Amino acid sequence: MKVFISVDMEGITGLTDPEDVLTDGADYQRGRVFMTQDANAAILGAFDAGATEVLVNDSHWVMRNILLEQLDPRAKLIKGFHKPMCMVQGLDESYDAAVFIGYHACAGTEGGVLAHTLLGKEIHNVLLNDEPIGEARLNALMAGHFGVPVVFVAGDTAACAEAKKIVGNDLTTYAVKDGIDMFTATCLHPEVTKKGIREGVRHALKGKKRKPYKMKGPYRFGIEWNTTTIASTCAYIPGVKKVNSRTSEFTTGNLPEAMGLIFAELMLGLQAGQKKIYG
Ligand SMILES: [Zn+2]
């Protein structure tokens, strides 16, 4: 059994603030330890359930967060930012299940701890056929393209609720913290969440076979940016157009192509969005 684990950071045990998850943040180095521990708990659960191969994709920001030397040596780690499939890089048809760890809710979710979609500052909303789509749904859709079901999600309460809404109420989830505000949460201790994630992953992989999350194309992906200049810059890409002053959009029937285009837009958005905030 081959298991793919995508690990984001905002939904990791105990992390509630940009200081915990940004590379220059005061508590970032501690955050990396917590992130590696949650990943390890999931790896343990996968091997408990009979996994023969586990691939971990570091899915947060610079994607160089997980501490390799502290990671369970039975797993392999994809590290680095430049990858077209972004948070699901490495996933293909050969995998039996996908597990999402450290996930957060879609941009604008009430009570979602560090909630955003792909970029916290530059992006107001990612849209699929005009509907806001969060990272859990986007990545579940990509996994579904390869015929791989998402079987377990860990994050804050809002992220878990969002994942259930997408792939089904019977999805096994584990909430490591409960949001009070975007930057405030009631947190469980790492020793507690380690058990919860391990047991949750084991249970999910041993349970009834889940269906991959699929949706019929074509897919019209929009990104509502925080500035008009980013939308204009993205529209330089052939096939991408500006549909209003702040929104770029493209349509495709090919999901990996969509992920690659979104990734290219992210790179442009980061570049074109470098002006300081003023007011
Ligand atoms: Zn994220």
The per-residue pLDDT for range 71-124, each reduced to its tens digit, is 999 999 999 999 999 999 999 999 999 999 999 999 999 999 999 999 999 999
Mean pLDDT of the chain: 97
Asked if residue 167 and residue 145 are part of one domain, the reply reads yes
CB 103 within 8 A of CB 159: yes
pLDDT of residue 273: 87
Residues 6 or more apart whose CB falls under 8 angstroms from that of 233 comprise 268, 269, 271, 272
Active site residues: 116
* 201: nearest Cα among 110, 72, 85: 72
Domain end residue (candidates: 175, 206, 237): 206
Rounded to the nearest whole angstrom, what is the distance from the C-alpha of residue 183 to the centroid of ligand 1? 15
pLDDT of residue 276: 82
* 10: nearest Cα among 80, 141, 106: 106
Asked if residue 178 and residue 260 are part of one domain, the reply reads no
Confirm whether pTM is higher than 0.85.
Answer: yes
CB 85 within 8 A of CB 76: no
Rounded to the nearest whole angstrom, what is the distance from the C-alpha of residue 60 to the centroid of ligand 1? 6
How do the pLDDT tens digits run along the chain, 279 residues long?
A: 999 999 999 999 999 999 999 999 999 999 999 999 999 999 999 999 999 999 999 999 999 999 999 999 999 999 999 999 999 999 999 999 999 999 999 999 999 999 999 999 999 999 999 999 999 999 999 999 999 999 999 999 999 999 999 999 999 999 999 999 999 999 999 999 999 999 999 999 999 999 999 999 999 999 999 999 999 999 999 999 999 999 999 999 999 999 999 999 999 999 998 888 788
Rounded to the nearest whole angstrom, what is the distance from the C-alpha of residue 117 to the centroid of ligand 1? 6
Instruction: Print the domain residue range for 223.
Output: 219-272
Residue 277 belongs to a domain: no
Rounded to the nearest whole angstrom, what is the distance from the C-alpha of residue 135 to the centroid of ligand 1? 6
Cα angle for residues 35, 56, 27 (degrees, 5° grid): 20
- The CATH code of the domain that includes 96 is 3.40.50.10780
How far apart CA 139 and CA 11 sit, in angstroms, is: 15
Asked if residue 149 and residue 50 are part of one domain, the reply reads yes
pLDDT of residue 111: 95
Return the structure tokens found at 200: 């949750």
How far apart CA 181 and CA 184 sit, in angstroms, is: 5
Residue 129 belongs to a domain: no
pLDDT of residue 187: 98
Asked if residue 236 and residue 141 are part of one domain, the reply reads no
What is the number of structural domains in the chain? 2
pLDDT of residue 165: 97
Residue 159 belongs to a domain: yes
Residue 211 belongs to a domain: no
pLDDT of residue 212: 97
Asked if residue 99 and residue 226 are part of one domain, the reply reads no
Return the structure tokens found at 176: 């490591």
Rounded to the nearest whole angstrom, what is the distance from the C-alpha of residue 89 to the centroid of ligand 1? 14
Asked if residue 171 and residue 62 are part of one domain, the reply reads yes
Asked if residue 69 and residue 190 are part of one domain, the reply reads yes
Rounded to the nearest whole angstrom, what is the distance from the C-alpha of residue 58 to the centroid of ligand 1? 11
